[in-house]
Amino acid sequence: MKLFVINGPNLNMLGIREPDVYGAQTYDQLVAFIQEVAKRECVDVSVYQSNHEGEIVDLIQSAYGVAEGIIINPAAYTHTSIAILDALKAVALPAVEVHLSDVRKREAFRQISYAGQACIQTFMGHGWKGYEEALVWLKAHLSDSKER
Ligand code: DQA
């Protein structure tokens, strides 16, 4: 099973960026954690990060015909990007939204998720664990749909 994990802007700054909100560990450590979970779950993951909206659209499009599902933390683009929503709808792959922080408890401008409207599940406020939950959930979802 092949999945794409796509991370949006400023997530490469983990460890430096607002550690009270996002934790003290680095982006490279997060990627290593995701790869470890993927190995344990026998899932092949490609993990990407981009600070650029169009590049994220390209990454989503490149999942078409290659990956069975997408785990996405669009970061700030969550709350602004119709292009990312449209790309997720275009490829029509099962997608799961992840946020490290619980955006529901944050500023008013974070209360809309465009990308989330094309996702079948969301995990937020669980830090890194949210990626693990997303991967395990998506794997089970895809396995179930194959059996049916
Ligand atoms: C985030 C939440 C977003 O509102 C924010 O812009 C981010 C990170 C999260 O993982 O908690 O950059 O997606």
Domain boundaries, the chain: 2-147
The pTM score is: 0.97
136 ligand 1 Cβ < 6 A: no
- pLDDT classification of 136: cutoffs 50, 70, 90: very high
Tens of pLDDT, residue by residue over 47-78, are: 999 999 999 999 999 999 999 999 999 999 99
User: What per-residue confidence (pLDDT) applies to 146?
Assistant: 81
Contact predicate 77/53, CB 8 Å: yes
pLDDT on residue 147: 80
Question: What pLDDT score does 106 carry?
Answer: 97
Alpha-carbon distance values, 107 to 80, 99, 110, 119, 120 (Å): 14, 14, 6, 22, 24
Of the pLDDT bands very low, low, confident and very high (cuts 50, 70, 90), residue 26 is very high
Does ligand 1 come within 6 angstroms of the Cβ of 102? Answer: no
pLDDT digits (tens, 9 = 90+) for 76-110: 999 999 999 999 999 999 999 999 999 999 999 99
Taking residues 130-136, what's their average pLDDT?
A: 98
Report pLDDT digits (tens) over 4-24: 999 999 999 999 999 999 999
**What number is the average pLDDT over the span 125-133?**
97
The pLDDT of residue 127 is above 80: yes
Q: What is the domain class of 2-147 according to CATH?
A: alpha beta
What HEC string does the chain produce? Answer: CEEEEEECCCHHHCCCCCHHHHCCCCHHHHHHHHHHHHHHCCCEEEEEECCCHHHHHHHHHHHCCCCCEEEEECHHHHHCCHHHHHHHHHHCCCEEEEECCCHHHCCHHHCCCCHHHHCCEEEECCCCHHHHHHHHHHHHHHHHHHHC
Whether 99 is catalytic: yes
Task: Quote the ligand 1 centre to 122 CA distance (angstroms).
Answer: 13
Mean pLDDT calculated for residue range 118-128: 97
27 given a catalytic annotation: no
Q: Are 115 and 83 in contact (CB under 8 A)?
A: no
For residues 109-137, average pLDDT: 98
User: Closest ligand 1 atom, CA of 75?
Assistant: 13
